[in-house]
Structure formats: C-alpha cells, structure tokens
Amino acid sequence: MPVAGETLSRQLQVSLRFAASRWAEQDPDPVTRAELEELLQRAGDPDPNPAGIPPDDTSDTAVAWRGLRDRFRSRLAFGTAGLRGELGAGPARMNRVLVAQTARGFADYLLARGEQPSIVIGYDARINSDVFARDTAELMQGAGVRATLLPRPLPTPVLAFAVRDLGADAGVMVTASHNPKRDNGYKVFLGGADGGSQIIAPADAEIAAAIGEVAHGSLVTELPRSGDYEIAGEDLVERYVAATAASFRGTVAPLRVVYTPMHGVGWATFRDVLDAAGLPHPTLVHHQTEPDGAFPTLDFPNPEEPGALDLAYAAGDTVLADLVIAHDPDADRLAVAIPTAHGWHRFGGNEIGRLLGWRAAEHLAATGETGTLATSLVSSPALRAVADAYGLGYAETPTGFKWISRAEGIAFGYEEALGYLVDPEKVRDKDGISAALAVLELAMRLAAENRTLLDLEAEFAERFGAFASRQVSTRFAVLSEIPRVMRALRDAPPAAIGDVAVSRRDDFAAGLDGIPPSDILRLWLADGTRVMIRPSGTEPKIKVYIDAVATGDGSSRQLTAKAEAAAEAAAAGARALLEAM
C-alpha cells in the first residue's frame, strides 16, 4: 500500500531497484516485464543524496520510484479468499510471476497432505484468466499434482461442481468475481473432507507459508512445468447443467424476463440450463452478453453498484419485462429486480435470501426431509424465523461461503452480498445460476396467480414477521484509526443507538456462539433491532449491519413500515456514532 508523505531514502531505492530487476528477469509476460523495465529506466540510478526523494517531489523520476515502491513494498497476501488484486508487475499486483509462485506453493502443500493429489482448474473471461489458469496447470503437473483444466471460460459454480464431481483434492478458480475491471484473482477450494468448499484457517496460513518458501527460494524460471495436464471434456459441463436444471421444481408460465451476465461468462451455461429445464430464453442485454474482460459498459461490474443495472432496466422498459435478473462476471452472485409504479425495485440479498430459504423449507416439508438453513453472522436473522416455523436447524456462521457451506446438514445458505447456495449436494459455494432458476420458479408461480415477488414478500411478513436491513459504512483516511475506533467502542460502549437503548452487547473478539475470534461487536437494542459493527476486510472502512424486525398484530404493510422505521432510525444513530468517534 502506498505510504502517504514518505521520503524515498537512497537505501530504499537501492532495495527497490534490486527487487524489480530480479522480478523482471524471471517474468515470462512481456507486458509486465516491459512495465517494470520502463519504470526502472525512468527512475534511473538511486539518488546520491542520502536524504532521498522528498514527498513533495513531483518529477517524473520521483513518480517512477513511487511506482516501484507501490509494486514492491508489499505482497498480495494469500488468505481464505485466496488472492485478489490489480493486474500489473511486482508482488503487490496480480501477474504471472505471483501466480507461478502461488501455484507451486499450493502444489507443495497438496503433496505434503497426501500421495498423488489431484486438482481441477477453472477460469473466467477476465484479462489473463486463461493465462494464469494454464500456468497453474503446467506448474501443478510439473510438481507431481495431477491437473485438469476446464475446457473453456466458465462460471465459478462449474469449478466448484467439478471439484466434487471429479473427486479432486483441490480446485482453483481464476477470477476476481465482481471486483473492478482491472483486477484478477485466485480462489482456492479443497476436496476430500472439506467437501469442495473454499479454504479456511489453518489451511490458508499453511498454503501461504508454502508460497513464501517458493517466492524466497526459487526463480519461477527454475520451476518445473509440464504440458501433460488433462483438459476436462464437455461432459463435465453437461453434468453440471443437468444437475442444475433438475433443481427447477415449478411449472413453466409466461413471464417476460431480461437477463445480463455483465460481460461475464454466465450466459452460455445459463442458456444450456434453461434449455435443459424447458424454460424460455430471456431478452438479453446485447451490449453485455458476450464475455469481455475489458467490461466496456461498466466501470465496476458489481450488480450492487449504483448504475450497474441501468442497461438491463432500459431493456426491461423496452420489452415491458416482469423481471430482471443479472449475474456478476463469474456468475456466482445473482441480482433480481422487478418493475413497480415508482421504477425498478432491486431486491437486496437479504430479501431474496429469505424467500429462497422459505422455498427450501417448503420443499423439505413436502418431502419429509430435514436440514439446516444457514447464513452469515451479518445477514438478516429472518432465516431463523423460517427454520423455527418448520422445525429445521439454523446456523449463523462467520462471513463468507467458506463458512456457510460447512454448516452441518446444510439445505440452503445465503449471505447478504447476493450470494445463494440453493443446491448443496451439487456445489458447496454460492451459485448464481441455480439461484436464478429458483427465482424463476418462484416468479412463474406467482405470475400464474397474478402476483409478484413483492406480494410474496408481504406474505412472508405476515407469516414470519417483517424484516428490514440497512448498511452504514464510514471511511477512514488513516487505516490506524479503525482499530482505535473499535477499541473505543469496546472500552466505552454506547448506551443507546439514536434514541433507542442498547439492551445487550456481544463481543466476538474471543469467539462467541461458535464463531471464531472476530473483530465484531453486536448490539441488541431495546426494540429488538440488531446492530453489527465490524471493520471491512477489503477497504479502510468500518461497516455497520442493521436488522430490525416487527411482529404481532397489523397488516404486512404496517409491520413492514414499523420495521423500516426502526432500521432507518438505527442507521442514522449508527452513522452519528461513528462520525463522532
């Protein structure tokens, strides 16, 4: 991370020049190698002045040295989310050197766990995803791990399926999901006892240590490679398609649907699933249908971002659509919107999550089965009400599907960031394609009754209570302010949020309710509203998740208004609290 106002000492310049030269020598990518060579040329020799380059120096030489610092002062950390970062040269960027070190380190980890391990590797349409995937396959095979590469760019859920379907020991998906267009990433799954879920501790630290040994002990040009890896057949994709299509349990009814994959890889697989399920094709947002890692119509290909669905809404207005559905670029997330008298209403993840959870509970009741409804700690507690009503298990997990997918007896899981696990026997990760099919099932049933998903929301409120969610986030210019604020909230906890008293406080710092130690505070307000406070894992922010509930007498409209008012008041109070810290 760049250090604001830092003087670039001569010693630092010498160190940066050495590191950049060594990196460029082993870089097989002419683009990133040229990037470093150009920066080195512009930077020139280290400044003979021992005082170094002052922070107010804006010369081209100083800018070049800062560019080297930003690329080499730190390294993209490998963790439970794998790797994710901006494309570019150096250890603080995503590139072929970093991926090669990661692939070989992961291979060493797998080889230490058992004999003749196997891995399946997938990739999406982002820039260099195919290159990083082939590098991984060659390095895995060269290290002695039996590698299988998926046949073409495919959604992340297909890779998650492949780990289970092929009985692989591990999986890698090269994707940055819904991150900014210049990013790419490396998502890691484990088979066997992990069931095809994403990695959790301590595996992340063990893999990171193995990667570190490679990075410090070898040049990537010295790592053995082999082109003898396998290419999976299309029959693997066909098995995913068939299994997903089988999850549609409704009746086909007329419904005007608009769909966008947001320049990602979702459409080809989703189309095949629709065909297998006997469902009609939607109207496509043609400017966003073909995979394109440049994302020409989007700055930030995340369906939660303001404006991301504008082209889909415009297409919906043109064809008078009943429903808009969107996948993020690797099709593991799903956004849903319907038209109203006041414009398009995009459902939040909590709203769709509780409706799909109710669908899952109804299916279990109809088949006489049991299971667990699971969601992350910061998502709405509405699933608990559904689970209680149907006599099902309920689990709250740490954030992320690496945890949700591991809930014992899971039948359905979701998190508020538009991720849904509808068919856990097929995959143990969020799956936007099977979730889209489930939403179509609900929407078609409702359309046949001349109702919409908003009507189902009202029915949910009448039966289980009205739930309302809000998010508040406060950005900090100095990263060190975040632990100071969290410490202050612990040392002097607020007696009220807004005008409502805090009735209970839970601190997850030492672990609580089966949740590992986490930097999370949970406040329960006197009116039943829940307030979760935690630092963001990816940005210099503190995030607050607010969930209010209203039950008892009253119409769904009255209950919803009561819950919305409580959530809004808590959001205003939380915002004021953080701004005063």
Q: pLDDT category, 271, cuts 50, 70, 90?
A: very high
- CA nearest to 118, candidates 200, 235, 224, 232: 232
The CATH code for residues 83-232 is 3.40.120.10
Q: Is the pLDDT of residue 413 over 70?
A: yes
Q: Is the pLDDT of residue 513 over 90?
A: no
In this structure, which CATH number among 1.10.1060.10, 3.40.120.10, 3.60.70.12, 2.40.160.60 belongs to the domain 250-464? 3.40.120.10
pLDDT for the residue 2: 39
Q: How far apart are CA 455 and CA 463, in angstroms?
A: 13
Q: Is the pLDDT of residue 204 over 90?
A: yes
pLDDT by residue (tens digit) across 245-255?
999 999 999 99
Q: Backbone phi, then psi, for 452, in 5-degree steps? A: -130, 180
Q: How far apart are CA 492 and CA 483, in angstroms?
A: 14
Q: Is the pLDDT of residue 3 over 50?
A: no
Q: Contact 560/455 with Cβ under 8 angstroms?
A: no
pLDDT for the residue 1: 35
Q: Is the pLDDT of residue 5 over 70?
A: no
For residue 168, give the 3-state DSSP assignment.
Answer: coil
* Average pLDDT rounded to a whole number, residues 432-441: 98
Q: In which residue ranges of the chain is CATH 3.40.120.10 found? A: 83-232, 250-464
pLDDT by residue (tens digit) across 330-369?
999 999 999 999 999 999 999 999 999 999 999 999 999 9
Percentage of the chain surpassing pLDDT 70? 99
Tokens of residue 182, six digits: 């210049």
Average pLDDT, the chain: 95
Lowest mean pLDDT segment, chosen from 2-16, 28-42, 293-307, 437-451: 2-16
> What's the pTM?
0.94
Q: How far apart are CA 461 and CA 158, in angstroms?
A: 35
Selected catalytic residue, list 9, 21, 74, 177:
177
Q: Is the pLDDT of residue 465 over 90?
A: yes
Q: Is the pLDDT of residue 188 over 80?
A: yes
- CA nearest to 284, candidates 302, 266, 299, 296: 266
Architecture of domain 465-579: 2-Layer Sandwich (3.30)
For residue 149, give the 3-state DSSP assignment.
Answer: strand
Integer CA distances (angstroms), 92 to 78, 311, 461, 489, in order: 11, 34, 47, 33
pLDDT for the residue 283: 98
List of residues 6+ apart from 538 with CB closer than 8 A: none
Q: Which residue has the higher pLDDT, 229 or 511?
A: 229
Q: pLDDT category, 6, cuts 50, 70, 90?
A: confident
Q: pLDDT category, 538, cuts 50, 70, 90?
A: low
Q: How many residues does the chain have?
A: 581
pLDDT for the residue 514: 84
* Average pLDDT rounded to a whole number, residues 67-72: 96
Clarify whether 177 is annotated catalytic. yes
Q: pLDDT category, 81, cuts 50, 70, 90?
A: confident
pLDDT for the residue 475: 87
pLDDT for the residue 299: 85
